[in-house]
Amino acid sequence: MEGIGAVLIDIDGVLTVSWKALPGAVAAMERLRAAGLPLLLVTNTTSRTRAGVAGRLAREGFLVGVDDILTAPAATAAYLRAHHPDARCLLINSGEVRADLEGVELVEEGAGAAGGAAPDVVVFGGAGEEFSYPALNAAFRHLQRGARLVAMHRNLYWRTADGFDLDTGAFLPGLERAAGVEAVVTGKPAEAFFATALAHLGAPASETLMVGDDIESDVLAAQRCGLTGVLVKTGKYLPETHRAATGTPDRVLDSFADLPDLLGLPGP
């Protein structure tokens, strides 16, 4: 594959599953580094901060630092600072990512119930036990009162070591329909997310490749932004999802371990 000068890489399902390195992923990353290819890890992971992600990957043997990672929470913080400065934000998320939400005023669940100021924005992160009926119903009521809705992503599910788990996208459409609102999505597949990633690398879309296990949010979304899309058959990949997709990936690989050979990089 000629003309590729930079690479965007999803993490969960591509490099790791349940934060354990997939076979051949560490060695493939080392070959990309040795070739001098600029790369950025782009993830909708909402359970860890950028520093936490970098630390966990380092323990698995990946040579990455905080500046090599762009997360949906970090992109969400940038969006909120730009479009809703000084807004009171209610965060519903599984995981602690407040360190990556610098400059965002977060309020606790129940804000406004005792006469205080209600949230101006409801922010959905990743689903988990925090996505309870009381939490979703409280968000619904805030939206009815005029709060804006921002979602870090629309992922339907993700793969864990125990199988697939439901994610935010399984709940978001019902809330949107009930409240008569539409969420602004700040992570993948948002065009702004890919634009931020390309700006970070200083690379044009036409010379950048995106590797992901989610055919819609990772691969086809990147292709709509002018990037080359590579789908890997690990993580959340399912043949039926591939067949039913709204488009065709530029390339399909068995795993991230096959990427260096696709790019024609020297062997180890």
pLDDT for the residue numbered 1: 76
Residue 68 lies in a domain: no
Average pLDDT value for residue range 8-24: 97
Residue 199 lies in a domain: yes
Kindly state whether residues 239 and 168 are assigned to the same domain: no
Round the average pLDDT of the chain to a whole number and report it.
94
Is the pLDDT confidence value at 268 over 80? no
Residues facing residue 6 across a β-bridge: 208
Average pLDDT value for residue range 16-21: 95
Give the domain extent around 211.
6-44+188-263
Kindly state whether residues 100 and 163 are assigned to the same domain: yes
Kindly state whether residues 162 and 211 are assigned to the same domain: no
pLDDT for the residue numbered 113: 55
Kindly state whether residues 82 and 167 are assigned to the same domain: yes
The tally of domains found in the chain comes to 2
Tens digit of each residue's pLDDT (9 = 90 or more) over 70-127: 999 999 999 999 999 999 999 999 989 999 999 999 998 765 555 567 899 999 999 9
Residue 57 lies in a domain: no
Q: What residues contact 245, with CB distance under 8 A and at least 6 apart?
A: 215, 216, 220
Average pLDDT value for residue range 188-209: 95
Between CA 152 and CA 93 the distance in angstroms is 10
Tens digit of each residue's pLDDT (9 = 90 or more) over 132-190: 999 999 999 999 999 999 999 999 998 888 899 999 999 999 999 999 999 999 999 99
Residue 23 lies in a domain: yes
Domain boundary among 121, 152, 185: 185
Kindly state whether residues 179 and 208 are assigned to the same domain: no
Q: Name which of 203, 195, 245 is nearest 222 in CA terms.
A: 195
Tens digit of each residue's pLDDT (9 = 90 or more) over 30-67: 999 999 999 999 999 998 999 999 999 999 999 999 99
Q: 3-class SS at 159? A: strand
Kindly state whether residues 156 and 198 are assigned to the same domain: no
pLDDT for the residue numbered 116: 61
Q: What is the CATH number of the domain that holds 86?
A: 3.40.50.1000
Residue 208 lies in a domain: yes
Average pLDDT value for residue range 210-235: 97
DSSP codes joined into one string, 108-144: -TTTTTTSSPPPSEEEE---STT--HHHHHHHHHHHH
Between CA 208 and CA 7 the distance in angstroms is 6
Between CA 63 and CA 171 the distance in angstroms is 35
Assess contact for 84 and 120: CB atoms under 8 A: yes
Residue type for 106, please? L
Residue 53 lies in a domain: no
Q: What residues contact 229, with CB distance under 8 A and at least 6 apart?
A: 209, 210, 212, 218, 219, 220, 222, 223, 249, 250, 251
Residue 54 lies in a domain: no
